[in-house]
Amino acid sequence: MRLSFIALATAALLLGACEDSANTSTPPPRPQAPAPQVGSTTTASGKIRIALLLPLSGRAAPTGQAMQQAAEMSLFDSGANDLALAAYDSGETGESAISAYRKARADGVALVLGPLFGPSAKALAPLVAQGGVNVIAFSNDEAAAQPGVWVMGIAAPPQVRRVVDQAVNAGIKRFAALAPRSAYGEQMTSTLESHVAVRGGQVVASELYDEGGDLTAAVKRLAADVKGDGKLAVLVPVAPPRLAGVLAALSAAGIDSSSVQFIGTGVWDIPGIGADTALRGAWYAAPDPAKRADFERRFISTYGRPPLRLATLAYDAVALAGKLARLKPGGDFSTEAITNANGWSGVDGVFRFLPDGRTERGLAVIEVQGERNLVVSPAPGSFVSNTN
């Protein structure tokens, strides 16, 4: 219907231009496009409007709904009576995220929390650059980070750097990687290589395997290349259920937890990861699970089921919005306020937003055990001594 209206309006303008040109040599002024309508950032009762962009339809709807529930729980827990939270369905594409963002702007909003997916967050960057409202997205894709569009998700490269630091501090200088042949796997191996070099170590082997394919050839090459003196750490950024097969293939080649230190990423940060005895003793970097445990208990008490792992992002984002709202009368949602160098604290620990759109987090290093994992290096409680 909208396209039809535009087509009719265009035809009418063209017809009018033709009639005018027959009567005068001066062309009529070109009509100016109306500026987008932007609603008030506060409600009639004085509450500050905050938009929540989540996939509330489609395949990711269960995730979006769980995150919306966590956001609402945060609103209640933080006592943020000065916020009015409104959810918009951002779908699963950049186009649907843009539509949700524009709808939120038309309704009036001081800050946008979400969307979830990296391509959706990236699609909003031009709108923000044109004077739109700042966005704190739930994606962990650092490629989507832009000034004014922060990716709040727990990105994987910092996880690799954190666990490499732990290994180097433990005296390990030799590293290797076995990762899937994908954008994620390539990013993890690249991060390993660059950070190990910074820390004065050496990556002695790096192998990518085709997902769903035979691991034998890649594992044999890895086993041949890692021979040498000194303790070895092997990065295996692989999530269950594929992880079990990868560990079995490594063990068959003589690479197991008795001979090397396995290290990984937050894809291991799931309940029951220690059930696979081949992984016990391995290290990965993630937010401290102790703080999240209390959130999970309260979520279960409120909604009758455990929260999805991403729910903490929505919870912390709404708590952050409440803090920004109290900085001054009417709130302060500016870039300067959001990127406060002291950072913020939430269920997933301390975090701070960088000017380029990335997020720095205080991560713990966790050792995989049986029923309960062990924090072997606590997450920092602040950024006071970590200013780089």
pLDDT digits (tens, 9 = 90+) for 60-97: 999 999 999 999 999 999 877 889 999 999 999 999 99
Query: In this structure, are 276 and 217 located in the same domain?
Result: yes
User: For residue 324, is it within any domain?
Assistant: yes
User: For residue 376, is it within any domain?
Assistant: no
Query: In this structure, are 46 and 120 located in the same domain?
Result: yes
Query: In this structure, are 210 and 309 located in the same domain?
Result: no
Query: In this structure, are 48 and 76 located in the same domain?
Result: yes
pLDDT confidence band for 214 (50 / 70 / 90) = confident
User: For residue 211, is it within any domain?
Assistant: yes
Query: In this structure, are 137 and 90 located in the same domain?
Result: yes
Query: In this structure, are 114 and 172 located in the same domain?
Result: no
Q: What pLDDT, on the 0 to 100 scale, is given for residue 57? A: 95
284, pLDDT greater than 80: yes
Domain boundary among 268, 286, 304: 286
38, pLDDT greater than 80: no
Higher pLDDT, 31 or 296: 296
Domain boundary among 226, 256, 286: 286
103-121 pLDDT, tens digit per residue, is: 999 999 999 999 999 999 9
Q: How far apart are CA 109 and CA 85, in angstroms?
A: 9
Q: Which residue range forms the structural domain that includes residue 147?
A: 40-154+288-357
Taking alpha carbons only, the member of 160, 157, 140 closest to residue 284 is: 160
Taking alpha carbons only, the member of 105, 93, 83, 14 closest to residue 55 is: 93
Q: What pLDDT, on the 0 to 100 scale, is given for residue 386? A: 47
Average of per-residue pLDDT across 282-294: 93
User: For residue 378, is it within any domain?
Assistant: no
Taking alpha carbons only, the member of 193, 192, 201 closest to residue 169 is: 201
Q: How far apart are CA 342 and CA 352, in angstroms?
A: 7
Higher pLDDT, 211 or 129: 129
Q: pTM score, two decimals?
A: 0.84
Query: In this structure, are 222 and 313 located in the same domain?
Result: no
Average of per-residue pLDDT across 335-358: 96
Percent residues over pLDDT 90 in the chain = 80
Query: In this structure, are 224 and 300 located in the same domain?
Result: no
313, pLDDT greater than 70: yes
CA distances for 129 relative to 85, 132, 272, angstroms: 24, 6, 43
- CATH number reported for the structural domain that contains residue 161 in this entry: 3.40.50.2300
320-342 pLDDT, tens digit per residue, is: 999 999 999 999 999 999 999 99
**Chain-wide mean pLDDT for the chain?**
89
User: For residue 366, is it within any domain?
Assistant: no
pLDDT confidence band for 173 (50 / 70 / 90) = very high
Query: Which strands form 149-151's sheet, in the order they lie side by side?
Result: 83-89, 48-54, 111-113, 135-137, 149-151
Across 11-20, 210-219, 344-353, the highest mean pLDDT is recorded for: 344-353
How many structural domains are present in the chain?
2
User: For residue 386, is it within any domain?
Assistant: no
Q: How far apart are CA 142 and CA 324, in angstroms?
A: 24
Query: In this structure, are 217 and 321 located in the same domain?
Result: no
Higher pLDDT, 330 or 236: 236
Residue 195 in contact with residue 139, Cβ under 8 Å?
A: no
10, pLDDT greater than 70: no
Percent residues over pLDDT 70 in the chain = 89
pLDDT confidence band for 254 (50 / 70 / 90) = very high
Query: In this structure, are 320 and 337 located in the same domain?
Result: yes
Query: In this structure, are 298 and 335 located in the same domain?
Result: yes
**What are the b/e assignments for 151-179, b being 16+ CB within 10 Å?**
bbbbbbbbbbbbbbbbbbeeebbbbbbbb
Taking alpha carbons only, the member of 332, 348, 278 closest to residue 41 is: 332
Domain boundary among 224, 253, 286: 286
Query: In this structure, are 149 and 221 located in the same domain?
Result: no
